[in-house]
Structure 1
Amino acid sequence: MSISLLLEMAASSDQDRTAVVSDELRFTTGELSALADGGAGVIAASGARSVAYVGTGGAMLPLLLFAAARAGVPLTPLNYRLSGDRLRELIDRLPDPLLISDDEYRNAAGASVRRALGSGEFVTAARASEPLSLSPDPEDIAVVLFTSGTTSRPKAVELTHNNLVSYITGTVEFAGAQPEDVALICVPPYHIAGVGAALSNLYAGRKMVYLRSFTPEEWIRLVNTEAVTTATVVPTMLDRIVGALSATPTPLPTLRNLAYGGSKVALPLVRKALDLLPEVGFVNAYGLTETSSTIAVLTPDDHRAARASTDEDVRKRLGSVGQAVPGIEVQIRSEQGAVLPAGQPGELYVRGPQVSGKYTGIGSVLDAEGWFPTKDLAVLDAEGYLFVHGRSDDTIIRGGENIAPAELEDVFVEHPDVHEVAVVGVEDAEWGQIIVAVVVPTAGTTPDPEALRTHIRNNLRGSRTPDRVVFRDHLPTTPTGKVLRRELVAELTLEPADQ
């Protein structure tokens, strides 16, 4: 089954249902399907073997997903925030691409591409083109996404039709949404969450409203004007939404569910959001590009139970990413590859039909039994709740002792003077690496570095005490909230130690 059949099913079920709202554009499922057929004709006529998209998404993302699928070529949404040189480098790694870009990004990467169209030109051409609707092999590549490259050169992840359809059909009930259900989408189109949102909401029968340029004020306005019932945000967005609602309390009467994910969310922020919006069901969704989106979910009931419980083991689950979704198996393994029991930390491995684990130019990294090494450090509790403690690449080795930054960060953010923090290892002649905490203070506070070090020492072993605490106005992050630790390490390496 190909992803194009997801749209065919939705259109056959109710072709007059509004599927997409993006600024002034509104498409029914029938209109989206017809336009995708025309778009497939445009792509086929170009002779391209892949489609690249540079833009902020909106209606263009679902349109291009299905048009490319029906043309039998993969789609690669690219990070429009990258420089022209970086974009050209990624485009050059794609086979015979047709580049489609929003007007404001046409000059960023289009000069060196033989086949290029503006988004508006593509839509116009699709309306006039001879329709085409191929049926790709389920094992053909549907989407190629570049990893963020926070720790290395971006890798091109290949997701097949089968990977993506397995995720959708395994986690979403077809046409299961209520007629009044509306999803607000503001995650970037080049992120797996953006791809997953487009496919899953269409399959569920939920109207999609796109917010292409996020501000908390506009997000709040759209929730109310479009009667949004469910929304997905990244942690930085959640932080800003909570800040805006705290400053100017605004009822959100239609909002039933709010999902967050993309990177770790500090527990104080989660607790504040739950208390601020008690009628909203919060969902923590964890996944990777290589797993076709979500592989574990902390449900609204899980959130409420953990927030209200007096049992410390249950309360801790508010900091977990929940339990594995249907069709996904998880293991925690030691450095030697042994499967570890509940309560013992190690590297997270996952397996299931939605898991790709394949990269262009590298091939599959699945082991002989189909398990994918996520490179995330994690632990499972006795009830199967998964706690993710960050990337194995981020581990600090100080004096021969392995230290996970998340262990310190979870304690730091409980201090009232700490709004955000990233803990990194910086090279040191004596210790190999030293521990440096980069702190964004809570507004209106001026924390004492020694007081913060004492806070850590009182809650963790003395070897976890940071060697240095430095302060910043903000942390460098990706658009999905992942801290760019390499940038911090490079910056701190050049600073005098007494800064």
Structure 2
Amino acid sequence: MRPSLLADAASAAVRTVRSIGVLYRAGLVPVPRLDEGIRSLIATRRYGPLAGSLRIAARRAPHAAGLVDERGVMTFSQLDLRSNALARGWSQRGVRPGTTLAVLCRDHRGLVLTLLAAGKLGVPVLLLNTGFAKPQLTDVCVREKVGVLVHDEEFTDLLSDIPGDRYLAWADSDPGAVPSLDDVIAGSDDHPLPAPAKPGGFVLLTSGTTGTPKGAPRPKVSPLHSAEFLDRIPLRVGEATYFGAPLFHATGISQFMLSCALGCTVVLRRKFDPEETLRGIAEHRCTALVLVPTMLQRILDLGPDVLARYDTSSLRVIFVAGSALAPELGNRAREVFGDVVHNVYGSTEVAVATVATPRDWARAPGTVGRPPLGCRVALYDEQDRRIDRPYVTGRVFVGSGLAFTGYTDGRTKDAIDGLIATGDVGHFDADGLLFIDGRDDEMIVSGGENVYPVEVENVLVEHPDVREAAVIGVPDDEFGQRLKAFVVRRDGSTVDAEVLRDHVRHTLARFKVPRDVEFVDELPRNSTGKVLRGALK
């Protein structure tokens, strides 16, 4: 064997051993009952990470609460049996491997049962974004050749141009002629099904902010990939996780699958409500909370009186991902909840890239941390040369065991040295902590100087009268582009533009001071909290 191959094999063996160690600390290696561990590996390989994990949880703790939503509690056994019945019913109706099943649902039991049943049939699931407009939904479903569509009643009017069979997952009134999941389940046998030839997997969608959303398949099923999260996020077996982030997004579905693998109770609510989130954490003694940054801000903006009404001392992890976490917001969360905030950076294509632990954040607010076990992150300049010096901005490339292998339309992302481009630019500090400076296509060139909006935005939101801010480039006859800031004031504030320009001027270089400041009631955002800069322009 060549020396390079030998070194690669040795490195892979070391990673495997370390991964098993991480899983053991989380409680996923059932020593001394190694036979249970072998059953878990077999079930996951046969049914995929979600349906396989559910089968194991139903075996180990059938009467434990597996899911809580607005309709009550479902045990692991109930989830297993009802998803068996749904899978059998669909199989009798012609749903089988090769069928593309799409879901347009909020977070509730109907969505979960759909995911489980599809896993047991080996059918791929396309997770549709509930924030998409009708043309986007139609284009995606036609392109992906959707044969079965599961949706909530509230989205019915958006789906008139999409062919295929329909099933209602949640209805607040008489569903009419469209069969519901409950109808299929009630008429079917709930005995276990034979394992499919291979797991179906998921297709996640990009945000679609620059056009039709692209499909990114995620077929990986190895339990060792869980170590990529658990290496830096201390989730444990048998706890409870509250989901604010939607399950159709990479953040939500990845953490949902991990919670199932850990046998945790999953607490869901169809629409995010900040005070109901606190109530749910207190009632179910949740140890983890999964959010996007705008949700965290809405919780903190409830104020000290409301926050004090709910006992959230059970929280050990606040998992924040999906868009940039501003230093000011992360610091506020740390003051209220303690050292529990984990800032996670990744993308639909690469999955997790880095995690900033509470210790990392305390040392360097704003950082997205370091790569967990099994991940690699590197920076490259415009000539594709590796950047090894700290504080030098470059394009971010990531390698991960969970990374995708290309979009469903055959396209892929730029790659260098086996690493995939995230589309972001960033830098490392002297301690090796990563900071994201912005999107590579959002850079503003003003008077020959490069400016990334996130740096200016972070300074603006540090002002006590500013709740949110977004910065874009607008045409300028003299400088090519100039900076324009859109600012949401805090309630009762009358802060003016000149005060905010002075605030930025005292922190950043002169060319980074916005010449225009427009005050708005809110910023346009997508369902994961990313600012829709095109709408601002």
TM-score surpassing 0.5? yes
Aligned-pair distance for 1:368? 6.3
Residue of structure 2 in register with 1:479 after alignment: 527
- Shifted more, 227-236 versus 448-457: the winner is 448-457
Residue of structure 1 in register with 2:259 after alignment: 201
Residue of structure 2 in register with 1:497 after alignment: none
Aligned-pair distance for 1:112? 3.6
1:445 paired to 2:505: no
Q: Tell me the SS of whatever aligns to 1:90.
A: helix
Match of residue 122, structure 1, among 178, 181, 187: 181
Aligned-pair distance for 1:485? 0.5
Cα deviations across residues 435-472 of structure 1 (Å, max 9, x unaligned)? 11111122222222123222222322222222211111
Aligned-pair distance for 1:378? 1.1
For 2:336 and 2:519, how far apart are their aligned partners in 1? 28
C-alpha change, 1:176 and 1:422, in structure 2 (3 Å) is closer
1:78 paired to 2:134: no
Query: Aligned ranges for residues 340-359 of structure 1 at < 5 Å?
Result: 340-341=387-388, 342-359=390-407
Structure 2 contact 367–435 (Cα < 8 Å) conserved:
yes
1:190 paired to 2:238: no
Residue of structure 2 in register with 1:219 after alignment: 277
For 1:78 and 1:42, how far apart are their aligned partners in 2? 23
Residue of structure 2 in register with 1:255 after alignment: 315
C-alpha change, 1:170 and 1:135, in structure 2 (3 Å) is farther
Residue of structure 1 in register with 2:381 after alignment: 334
1:405 paired to 2:446: no
For 2:365 and 2:299, how far apart are their aligned partners in 1? 20
For 2:146 and 2:500, how far apart are their aligned partners in 1? 54
Q: Tell me the SS of whatever aligns to 1:205.
A: coil
Match of residue 152, structure 1, among 180, 186, 211: 211
Residue of structure 2 in register with 1:362 after alignment: 410
C-alpha change, 1:116 and 1:417, in structure 2 (3 Å) is same
Match of residue 318, structure 1, among 347, 352, 365: 365
Q: Tell me the SS of whatever aligns to 1:258.
A: strand
Aligned-pair distance for 1:197? 2.2
Residue of structure 1 in register with 2:103 after alignment: 53
Aligned-pair distance for 1:208? 0.6
Residue of structure 1 in register with 2:337 after alignment: 277
For 2:120 and 2:259, how far apart are their aligned partners in 1? 19
C-alpha change, 1:416 and 1:136, in structure 2 (3 Å) is farther
Cα deviations across residues 134-189 of structure 1 (Å, max 9, x unaligned)? 33546xx6111221122333111111134x7554354349x97354x211112112
C-alpha change, 1:68 and 1:237, in structure 2 (3 Å) is same
For 2:77 and 2:417, how far apart are their aligned partners in 1? 42
2:313 counterpart letter in structure 1: P
Match of residue 324, structure 2, among 264, 276, 292: 264
Structure 1 contact 291–357 (Cα < 8 Å) conserved:
no
For 2:182 and 2:432, how far apart are their aligned partners in 1? 47
Aligned-pair distance for 1:360? 1.3
Residue of structure 1 in register with 2:360 after alignment: 302
For 2:283 and 2:480, how far apart are their aligned partners in 1? 55
Residue of structure 2 in register with 1:134 after alignment: 195
Unaligned runs of 5+ in 2: 1-44, 171-179
Q: Tell me the SS of whatever aligns to 2:143.
A: coil
Identity percentage of aligned residues: 31
Cα deviations across residues 268-299 of structure 1 (Å, max 9, x unaligned)? 22222211223x6222122211123x332122
C-alpha change, 1:214 and 1:412, in structure 2 (3 Å) is same
Residue of structure 1 in register with 2:150 after alignment: 100
For 2:60 and 2:401, how far apart are their aligned partners in 1? 26
For 1:133 and 1:429, how far apart are their aligned partners in 2? 68
For 1:144 and 1:459, how far apart are their aligned partners in 2? 43
Residue of structure 1 in register with 2:464 after alignment: 416
Cα deviations across residues 414-446 of structure 1 (Å, max 9, x unaligned)? 222222111101123433222111111222222
Residue of structure 1 in register with 2:65 after alignment: 18
Aligned-pair distance for 1:116? 0.6
TM-score, with length taken from structure 1: 0.88
Match of residue 371, structure 1, among 404, 411, 419: 419
Residue of structure 2 in register with 1:385 after alignment: 433
Cα deviations across residues 212-261 of structure 1 (Å, max 9, x unaligned)? 21111211221222222221111111111112142422232333322222
Structure 1 contact 151–393 (Cα < 8 Å) conserved:
no
For 1:118 and 1:136, how far apart are their aligned partners in 2? 28
1:215 counterpart letter in structure 2: D
Structure 2 contact 110–181 (Cα < 8 Å) conserved:
no
For 2:80 and 2:350, how far apart are their aligned partners in 1? 27
For 1:438 and 1:144, how far apart are their aligned partners in 2? 34
Aligned-pair distance for 1:8? 2.8
Q: Tell me the SS of whatever aligns to 1:42.
A: helix
1:129 counterpart letter in structure 2: S
Residue of structure 1 in register with 2:26 after alignment: none
Match of residue 349, structure 2, among 287, 290, 295: 290
Give the count of matched residue pairs. 471
Structure 1 contact 69–136 (Cα < 8 Å) conserved:
no
Q: Tell me the SS of whatever aligns to 1:194.
A: helix
TM-score, with length taken from structure 2: 0.82
Structure 2 contact 115–125 (Cα < 8 Å) conserved:
yes
Unaligned runs of 5+ in 1: 307-313, 490-499
Q: Tell me the SS of whatever aligns to 1:119.
A: strand
Structure 2 contact 107–271 (Cα < 8 Å) conserved:
no
For 1:136 and 1:284, how far apart are their aligned partners in 2? 38
Aligned-pair distance for 1:262? 1.4
RMSD: 2.4
